[in-house]
Amino acid sequence: MSNNRYMPKFKDEVVKPIVGQRHSVQKVSERIGVSTHSIYQWVKAVKPAKQETTQVLNPQLTNPKQMGATCLTSNNY
């Protein structure tokens, strides 16, 4: 285990193809020589922003069951 510290800009550049273009964490890890664990942590740090956006749009819907029930009970179809 190493104690490498990576700059935020480097982390962003690593995470971008994984989140945006659906590249494999394993392949990116092998290509740049950073552990998959580190990359998964970086991705996890970026993804909560997406979940927060969903909750801001409709904060009453907090889990998938509630969202499904709302969709099924609406008369929009």
Q: What is the pLDDT of residues 18-51, one digit of tens each?
A: 999 989 999 999 999 999 999 999 999 988 755 5
Instruction: For residue 25, give every residue at least 6 positions away whose Cβ sits within 8 Å of its Cβ, in sequence order, or none.
Output: 18, 36, 39, 40, 43
Residue 1: inside a domain: no
More confident residue, 72 or 13: 13
- 3 in a structural domain: no
As for how many domains the chain has, the answer is 1
Confidence band, pLDDT 50/70/90 cuts, at residue 13: very high
Tell me if 65 is assigned to some domain.
yes
CA 71/CA 7 separation, integer angstroms: 43
Distance CA 58, CA 53 (A): 9
Quote the domain boundaries for residue 57. Answer: 8-73
* Contact of 19 with 43, CB cutoff 8 Å: yes
Question: Does some domain include residue 40?
Answer: yes
**What integer best gives the mean pLDDT of the chain?**
78
- Judged against a pLDDT cut of 50, whether residue 77 lies above it is answered with no
pTM exceeding 0.85: no
